[in-house]
Amino acid sequence: MKRNERLARHTSFKIGGPAQLWFEPVDILDLRRLVVATYKKEIPLRVIGMGSNILVDDRGIQGIVIRLNSSYFKRITVPNSSLTYDMKQRDSCIINVGAGLSVNRLLRYAQSKGLSGLESLAGIPGTVGGVLVMNAGDVGDKVLHITVMDKQGRIKTIKRRQAGFGYRESKLDYYIILNVDFQLSRWDSRMIQKKIDRFLEYRRKTQDLYWPSAGCFFKNPSITKRRINTKHRSTSMSLGSAAYFIERCGLKGSFVGDAAVSLKHANFIINKGRASFSDVLKLKDCITKCVEGKFNLRLEPEVRIWR
């Protein structure tokens, strides 16, 4: 437990004031003790993964920020039930993964064991908990069960269909995700590596990985909301993506303070040095207004804003 831990140190944006309290539990019991105490005292509680999809207020955060950073929350195990299951369905395997594990390490494990299904996560700088909440790379498709703790310290198991996975969203926000059972398919390790390499290459080519950011700032608008004039077609951006609309507004390279719209990917707001929370918010508002004015379309942030 630490006081006034600067969250800029824990976010990929490198922006954010202090968390009143920062807590890294050793195991579930340790976590439960804190959760029960904070519930009774009505202290606000949030969970952070790698902080790669969060924009934090420079004034800081009241309450407690929890990071599942101990080895306990980073374990990978193969449940016994998986062996029984395998007898019926030899091509698949269930693994149980701690929510604090990084996606990178999970992928290395899966590849080495010849387990396929998570390759679309390659290059996403998150933890297992973070990718589940955001349903990054449509990871929800591979989920069987999720074990969570609610804000009163009760442990529950949630099935995939109860988790409400959608485009960059889920209904897992209310919980602290502890671990998850993924159902993966057996495949050749070299083929899995090739698939991972393709995703990495694609992200390297298309994303701005030079400056601090939180990845894509806005969600891509849903198809039904799109009203695209065909004369705005661009070859570099997928039609109808948030980046497409931002680029067509001529906003690439525009900035407020040190927050700028990336020249490489128009949906990346980057921190070119000392961007503040309000620089990013002002730029976000400006983008939202421009796109709404030109395309009659309201972009919704994908990035979680903590204040």
Ligand X SMILES: Cc1cc2nc3c(=O)[nH]c(=O)nc-3n(C[C@H](O)[C@H](O)[C@H](O)COP(=O)(O)OP(=O)(O)OC[C@H]3O[C@@H](n4cnc5c(N)ncnc54)[C@H](O)[C@@H]3O)c2cc1C
**Footprint on this chain of ligand X (rule: CB under 6 A):** 12, 46-54, 68, 99, 124-127, 129-131, 133-134, 136-137, 175-177, 203, 207, 209, 213-215, 304
Minimum gap (Å) between residue 73 Cβ and ligand X? 8
According to DSSP H, which parts of the chain are helical? 28-41, 80-88, 103-112, 128-134, 189-206, 242-248, 277-295
Minimum gap (Å) between residue 119 Cβ and ligand X? 12
- For ligand X, which is the closer residue by CB, 114 or 240? 240
Minimum gap (Å) between residue 260 Cβ and ligand X? 15
> Tokens 């979680």 — which residue?
304
- For ligand X, which is the closer residue by CB, 24 or 292? 24
* Phi and psi based region of residue 136 (left: phi greater than 0; alpha: psi -120 to 50; beta: remaining): beta
Minimum gap (Å) between residue 168 Cβ and ligand X? 6
- For ligand X, which is the closer residue by CB, 111 or 127? 127
Query: Which residues are CB-neighbours of 93 under 8 A, at least 6 positions away?
Result: 78, 82, 86, 113, 115, 183, 184, 185, 186
CB-count burial class (<10 Å; 0-12, 13-18, 19+) for 113: middle
Look up residue 96 and give its DSSP letter.
E
- For ligand X, which is the closer residue by CB, 17 or 49? 49
Minimum gap (Å) between residue 2 Cβ and ligand X? 17
Look up residue 83 and give its DSSP letter.
H
Minimum gap (Å) between residue 249 Cβ and ligand X? 22
Minimum gap (Å) between residue 149 Cβ and ligand X? 9
Strand partners, 96: 77, 181
- For ligand X, which is the closer residue by CB, 54 or 115? 54
- For ligand X, which is the closer residue by CB, 159 or 204? 204
Which of 14, 11, 7 is closest to 274 using CA atoms? 14
- For ligand X, which is the closer residue by CB, 129 or 144? 129
| Contact in structure between 261 and 202 (CB atoms under 8 Å) | no
Minimum gap (Å) between residue 304 Cβ and ligand X? 4
**CA gyration radius for the chain?**
20
| Contact in structure between 24 and 5 (CB atoms under 8 Å) | no
Degrees (nearest 5) of the Cα angle 178, 180, 186? 155
- For ligand X, which is the closer residue by CB, 91 or 197? 197
Strand partners, 55: 305
Look up residue 255 and give its DSSP letter.
E
Look up residue 132 and give its DSSP letter.
H
Other Cβ atoms less than 10 A from the Cβ of 139: the count is 24
Going by their DSSP bridges, the two strands 61-67 and 45-48 should be labelled as parallel
